[in-house]
């Protein structure tokens, strides 16, 4: 089947399923994940010829992830970032450390080797914040303190993902000497990327945006400039071994603090900036992001889910409990509430592609067996389906104010009392002026 036909089928199925999920108050982001998984089942896959189409879908999925992180960068306020940085660090550390420790100890207790236990623990500690970001955007709370903590902790977790994949590759390459060289290479890559970001932020971007404003460029010109900058940063960070996510996020932050941070006094300029943000949001979540979530569903095979379900259930239980416990502990150390900790825990419980990539590399090089690989695939898919549901439920229960009829009556009574008090304060003045 042609690529366009498969995309048409996938988007139509995702849209219909998304509307059905919305009617029962479930996250719409699950729709493309379900659609991608169903399209790869043995009954449907032979009619679609996905093997020849997957390279195209993978390219669009990567572009979708890049745009999601670019949009997140646009939404990050550095002032708010600094205000809750301590809390984000606590959450990120314990959110990764607790499932890692529990996973390692559990698999050592079940008789697995230290290396296998380390790989499992590391895979359990990873977070895919892209799914949570989609839900935060859907509910309109991406810019809140809760949304900032989840996004920032996810950014710190992305660094962990880089170290995980690099560590496995360094181990496969050979001795401790190669591992040490791999660590030095990572430090060099990070320094090179920071240097590139500095040059782009203070030398390239200001001149480009100044030219756009002088020429009174259209929304299309501005968007194309943003696109080039985003792809430049994403490709550069990927080339340096840090992944395209970090570069796209940095591009969004650079654009926000270079283009949108100025004091736009003219109404025309304000309207243009608002229009550009709307265009970016529509293209990101309406066109490209579904490709990423479809790709997640398509990369989970039916055989991997059913080969060893009991071990998969155990790994999934450890993953869910570890993330929840780590988030509650980290948030509690920052004087947060239990409800906030649970919400953050569900928001950071989804997995994505990195742990599957790490597991696949380890499996292909004989570091883990098929039973462990299948269990990790089962865990990744199950947490991706379960976590968004409970995340949205937790947000709506604890963080979105939905007042009961009784509270509405009390609020109305208080507002009426204030109005009468103001009238009572004004009335004596009127009487005094009349007597005069």
Phi, psi dihedral angles at 351 (to 5 degrees): -115, 170
DSSP annotation of 49 reads T
In the predicted structure, residue 426 carries a pLDDT above the cut 70:
no
Mean pLDDT in residue range 86-100: 88
Show Cβ contacts of residue 178 under 8 Å, excluding neighbours closer than 6 positions. 170
Q: What is the pLDDT of residues 45-67, one digit of tens each?
A: 888 878 778 888 889 988 988 99
Q: What is the pLDDT of residues 287-307, one digit of tens each?
A: 998 998 888 788 777 776 777
Q: What is the pLDDT of residues 306-353, one digit of tens each?
A: 777 888 899 999 999 999 999 999 999 988 889 889 999 998 888 766
CB of 130 closer than 8 Å to CB of 179 = no
In the predicted structure, residue 176 carries a pLDDT above the cut 50:
no
Q: How confident is the model at residue 108 (pLDDT cuts 50, 70, 90)?
A: very high
- The whole-number pLDDT of residue 229 equals 93
In the predicted structure, residue 428 carries a pLDDT above the cut 60:
no
- The whole-number pLDDT of residue 420 equals 46
For the chain, the C-alpha Rg in angstroms (whole number) is 25
Domain map (residue ranges) of the chain: 3-402, 406-436
Q: How confident is the model at residue 270 (pLDDT cuts 50, 70, 90)?
A: low
Euclidean distance between CA atoms 355 and 376, whole angstroms: 8
**Cα distances (angstroms) measured from residue 329 to each of 67, 83, 124, 144, 320:** 32, 19, 17, 21, 14
CB of 127 closer than 8 Å to CB of 156 = no
Assign domain 3-402 to its CATH architecture.
Up-down Bundle (1.20)
Phi, psi dihedral angles at 265 (to 5 degrees): -85, -35
| Tokens coding 414 | 């208080």
Euclidean distance between CA atoms 330 and 221, whole angstroms: 44
- The whole-number pLDDT of residue 8 equals 92
- The whole-number pLDDT of residue 429 equals 43
Euclidean distance between CA atoms 343 and 390, whole angstroms: 8
Mean pLDDT in residue range 109-114: 91
Mean pLDDT in residue range 163-178: 58
CB of 199 closer than 8 Å to CB of 212 = no
Secondary structure (DSSP) of 288-307: IHHHHHHHHHHTS-HHHHHS
| Tokens coding 195 | 């240097």
- The whole-number pLDDT of residue 150 equals 84
Euclidean distance between the first and the last CA atom of the chain, given in angstroms as a whole number: 91
């Amino acid at each position: 089947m042609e690529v366009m036909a498969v995309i048409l089928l996938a988007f139509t199925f995702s849209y219909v399923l998304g509307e059905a999920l919305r009617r029962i108050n479930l996250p719409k982001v699950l729709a493309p994940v379900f659609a991608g998984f169903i399209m790869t089942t043995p009954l449907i896959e032979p009619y679609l010829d996905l093997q020849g189409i997957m390279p195209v879908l993978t390219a669009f999925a990567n572009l979708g992830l890049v745009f999601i992180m670019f949009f997140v960068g646009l939404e990050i306020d550095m002032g708010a970032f600094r205000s809750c940085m301590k809390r984000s660090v606590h959450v990120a550390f314990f959110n990764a450390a607790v499932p890692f420790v529990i996973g390692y100890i559990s698999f050592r207790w079940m008789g697995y080797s230290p290396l296998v236990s380390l790989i499992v623990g590391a895979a359990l500690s990873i977070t895919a914040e892209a799914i949570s970001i989609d839900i935060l955007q859907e509910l309109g709370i991406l810019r809140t303190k809760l949304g900032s903590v989840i996004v920032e902790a996810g950014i710190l977790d992305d660094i962990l993902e880089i170290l995980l994949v690099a560590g496995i590759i360094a181990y496969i390459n050979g001795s401790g000497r190669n591992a040490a060289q791999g660590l030095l290479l990572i430090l060099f890559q990070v320094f090179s990327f920071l240097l590139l970001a500095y040059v782009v932020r203070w030398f390239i971007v200001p001149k480009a945006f100044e030219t756009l404003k002088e020429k009174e460029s259209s929304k299309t010109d501005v968007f194309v400039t943003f696109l080039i900058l985003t792809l430049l940063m994403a490709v550069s960070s990927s080339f340096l071994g840090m992944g395209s996510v970090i570069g796209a996020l940095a591009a969004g932050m650079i654009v926000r603090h270079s283009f949108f941070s100025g004091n736009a006094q003219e109404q025309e300029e304000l309207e243009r900036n608002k229009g550009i943000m709307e265009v970016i949001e529509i293209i990101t979540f309406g066109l490209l992001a579904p490709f990423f979530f479809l790709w997640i569903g398509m990369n989970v095979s039916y055989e991997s889910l059913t080969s060893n379900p009991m071990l998969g259930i155990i790994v999934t239980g450890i993953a869910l409990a570890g993330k929840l416990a780590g988030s509650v502990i980290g948030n509690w150390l920052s004087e947060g509430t239990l409800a906030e900790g649970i919400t953050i825990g569900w928001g950071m419980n989804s997995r994505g592609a990195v742990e599957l990539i790490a597991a696949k590399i380890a499996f292909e090089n004989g570091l883990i067996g098929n039973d462990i690989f299948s269990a990790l695939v089962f865990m990744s898919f199950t947490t991706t389906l379960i976590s968004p549901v409970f995340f949205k439920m937790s947000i709506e229960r604890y963080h979105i104010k939905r007042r009961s009829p009784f509270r509405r009556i009390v609020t109305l009574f208080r507002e009426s009392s204030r109005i009468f008090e103001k009238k009572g304060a004004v009335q004596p003045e009127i009487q005094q002026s009349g007597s005069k």
